[in-house]
Amino acid sequence: MTAFFQSEFFYNYRRSSSAMIGSALMASFALAVLVGPFLVSQNPYDIAALDLMDSYKPPFWLEGGDPRFWLGTDGQGRDVWASILYGARISLFIGLVAMVASCAIGTLLGLVAGFYGGLVDSVIMRIADIQLSFPSILIALFLMSAVGTGIDKVLIALTAVGWVVYARTVRGSTLSEIEKEYVQAARVAGLPNSKIIRKHVLPNVLTPLIVIATIQVGTFVLIEASLSFLGVGVPITQPSLGLLIKNGFDVLFSGLWWTSVFPGVAIMMLVFGINLFGDFLRDELNPRLK
Amino acid sequence: MFGYLLKRMIQMSLVLWVVSVIVFLMMSFTGDPVFMVVPIDATDAEIAQARRILGLDQSVLVQYWRFISSLVQGDFGNSYVFRQPALKLILERLPATVEMVLVAMALALVVAIPLGVYAGANPNSRISRIIMAGSLLGISLPGFWVGMVLIFLFAVHWGIFPSSGRGDTVEIFGLRISLLTADGWRHIILPALTLSLATMAILLRMTRAGMMEVGRQDFMKFARAKGATRRDVLYKHGLKNALIPVITIFGLQLGDLIAFATITETIFSWPGMGKLLIDSIYRADRPVIVVYLMLVALIFVVINFLVDIVYTLIDPRIALK
């Protein structure tokens, strides 16, 4: 542990204001997602806790605002702040799980493609090429339009668009790793391929994935929000931040801006934090820049 | 050169074929479009008849064969909702989308290139840091939310710009163009700005990275040493070389703009093909979805091809193979 605090990485981290701000934003979101729902008095999805008399209250600093709902309420009298805390849970859950799934599948396919080469490699990489020539949002939109709404389906759609970048990166590094002497030595020692891949190649191709994975969580949160905004993402019973914005958009023209603006600010802060920290990681972990 | 073109043509057709198979499979395994066509109180016999007319009673292979052979002839079938050829519906709305994408791209370039050059040439200045933080914010914002905020501020609150629609259009060669009327410009400015933000941010970062990379090279030092003005060094010697990776991203971004136009068009009720796609997804209007996907696939494949060609024109060191 002390070794970490004395490392160059930690020293640079302390000196980089963007890394500090980024990780502070990420940490506060993690905290809000974990304990937030216990801090708000109202569960926005418990119908008994809602009172229609409280609907469309503006934020507390505006005329007619109610100190109980400091960011205002929506049409059902739901506290916008509480909705954001619950919605951020769903958004972040989807982003993280889809990232882990994409990373696992993409890394596996990349390792297999790079290690074995030949037909397997060609097939995997041609699929990746074709997929990369289309914007991920369009592929996800198309998949969602075919399978319908639901958190599980959003996860599938995001994983389907997310694996490619890992597969490409891992394949590239695998190709250069298997030429190196330690892999040759492992082969000569007669280790089975599966063990060489797991014990020797895998640990050495992981570093570049850290940056990709970090940034991807942010990208996924944004894609999920866009899908939900278009009505093909999460169901109404489990609204993510994107769906909150969509619900707010319907009443925007009546001047009721707070139901849609604040969830958007939440997404922005989350993704901005992730991107700031990801940028720092990219500079730190890229040996070419040092 | 001819061999290269031929090879690319075959590759492109192959990609389009794969897309057609995927689109067909996804469409045939999900939902039953027959219920989009028949009235709610239709009898079983009527449903069966509609199924026959749509060809849905055939096997998957037969259906695919009919699908691909009419596709090649440019016949995508009629929209279930509008009862008009789906291709015609999409093509009618194509100019509106293209117009918005082009204005967005132009906006992105005009802002991103000079700011990127500045930030790359003065990496440590305070202004550069602000530019870079702003660009990171541009990537982190949900585009649809920006559009909403713009609508609220400029349309609802201040009433400067209209919130939806395309405004007056002028018809030229049968195409309805809104860029030739003042009203058209008033309508396009908010959606195009919304659409361009993410692209602007990405191009800016690419330009900056390219400029920083180029700045370390000898020819830049020589250009400075021979007494070229700062402006000439940056734009004539630096930017020209820094632009090479930007061109690739530019192509990808054009694709992204077309994709994100679906969302922007939905927010601003812009009558383009993206909005038609979203509406068609809600109504399960398969023929229209198929036309959109195939057309967009064609556009992307052509863009990628053009990017590769432009590449060789800019950088003679890269040869077509």
pLDDT along chain B (321 residues), means of 10: 83 88 78 67 78 74 82 79 86 90 92 90 86 89 89 84 76 69 82 92 89 80 78 77 77 86 90 90 84 90 85 70 54
The pLDDT of residue A288 is 57
Q: Which residues contact residue A168 at a Cβ distance below 8 angstroms, ignoring those fewer than 6 apart?
A: A110, A125, A128, A132
- Confidence band for A1, pLDDT divided at 50, 70 and 90: low
**Cβ–Cβ gap A138/B137 under 8 Å:** no
Output the pTM of the full model: 0.88
Interface of B with A in 47-66 (CB under 8 A): none
Chain A residue numbers with beta carbons less than 8 Å from the beta carbon of B137 are 268, 272
Q: Which residues of A19-49 are buried (b: 16+ CB within 10 A; e: fewer)?
A: bebbbebbeebeebbeebeeebebebeeeee
DSSP chain A: -HHHHTSHHHHHHHH-HHHHHHHHHHHHHHHHHHHHHHHSS--TT-GGG--GGGTTPPPTTSTT--TTSTT-B-TT--BHHHHHHHHHHHHHHHHHHHHHHHHHHHHHHHHHHHHH-HHHHHHHHHHHHHHHTS-HHHHHHHHHHHH-S-HHHHHHHHHHHHHHHHHHHHHHHHHHHTTSHHHHHHHHTT--HHHIIIIIIHHHH-HHHHHHHHHHHHHHHHHHHHHHHTTSSS-TTS--HHHHHHHHHTTGGGT-THHHHHHHHHHHHHHHHHHHHHHHHHHHH-GGG-
The pLDDT of residue B37 is 66
The pLDDT of residue A225 is 93
| CATH number for the domain running over A18-289 | 1.10.3720.10
Contact present, B198 and B261 (Cβ < 8 Å): no
Q: Identify the residue with better confidence: B173 or A24.
A: A24
Q: Is B143 on the interface with A (CB under 8 A)?
A: yes
Q: Is A231 on the interface with B (CB under 8 A)?
A: yes
Query: Which amino acid does the sequence have at A17?
Result: S
Report how many Cβ contacts below 8 Å link chain A to chain B.
111
Domain boundaries, chain A: 18-289
Radius of gyration of chain A (CA): 23
Instruction: Pick B145's closest partner by Cβ from A146, A232, A264.
Output: A264
**Cβ–Cβ gap A145/B281 under 8 Å:** yes
Nearest CA to CA, how far is A267 from chain B (Å)? 7
Which tens digits make up the pLDDT trace of A211-228?
899 999 999 999 999 999
Instruction: Pick B255's closest partner by Cβ from A135, A257, A274.
Output: A135
Q: Which of B287, B293, B279 is nearest to B80 (CA)?
A: B287
Q: Which of B282, B196, B146, B250 is nearest to A226 (CA)?
A: B146
Instruction: Pick B140's closest partner by Cβ from A146, A230, A275.
Output: A275
| Burial zone of B198 (CB within 10 Å; 0-12 exposed, 13-18 middle, 19+ buried) | buried
Chain B residue numbers with beta carbons less than 8 Å from the beta carbon of A242 are 142
Lowest average pLDDT, out of A233-247, A265-279, B151-165, B169-183, goes to: B169-183
Assigned token pair, B143? 């585009």
Chain B residue numbers with beta carbons less than 8 Å from the beta carbon of A133 are 15, 255, 300-301, 304
Domain spanning B87-314: CATH superfamily:
MetI-like (1.10.3720.10)
B175: helix, strand or coil: strand
Highest mean pLDDT: which of A41-50, A70-79, A203-212? A203-212
Compute how many other C-beta atoms are within 10 angstroms of the C-beta atom of residue B56: 15
Assigned token pair, B25? 């499979």
The pLDDT of residue A290 is 46
Nearest CA in chain B to A143: B26
Contact present, A144 and A111 (Cβ < 8 Å): no
The pLDDT of residue B214 is 80
Q: Is B24 on the interface with A (CB under 8 A)?
A: no
Give the up-direction half-sphere exposure of residue A55: CA atoms within 13 A in the CB hemisphere.
Answer: 7
Instruction: Pick B30's closest partner by Cβ from A146, A242, A264.
Output: A146
CATH 1.10.3720.10 residue ranges of chain B are: 87-314
